[in-house]
């Protein structure tokens, strides 16, 4: 049976990795606002990156987490047989 902590860890890692391309894009609207501070810009990038197409990223992250957990359990089973 998969460990829930491992699933959550893989889910978060995959979700953040999928969100990075949107977070690192240049040309976000707040870039052209001269009064925007660095923290406001960072907050805008992070929030937009995490919420952009979140349904698709949730589905991909869940599937990838289940695949990674199954691969890890198979690897552990093979190592215990040796």
> Across residues 72-78, what is the average pLDDT?
85
Sign, Cα dihedral of 55, 25, 34, 37: positive
Q: What is the pTM of this model?
A: 0.80
**Would the pLDDT of 79 be above 70?**
yes
- Tens digits of residue pLDDT in 24-72: 876 666 667 778 788 888 888 888 889 988 999 999 999 999 999 999 8
64 contact partners, CB below 8 Å, separation of at least 6: 10, 14
């Amino acid at each position: 049976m998969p460990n829930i902590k491992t699933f959550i860890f893989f889910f978060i890692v995959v979700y953040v990795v999928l969100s990075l391309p949107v977070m690192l894009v240049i040309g976000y609207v707040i870039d052209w606002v001269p009064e925007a501070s660095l923290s406001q810009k960072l907050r805008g990038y992070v929030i937009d990156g995490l919420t952009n197409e979140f349904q698709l990223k949730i589905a991909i992250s869940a599937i990838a987490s289940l695949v990674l957990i199954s691969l890890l359990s198979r690897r552990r089973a093979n190592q215990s047989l040796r």
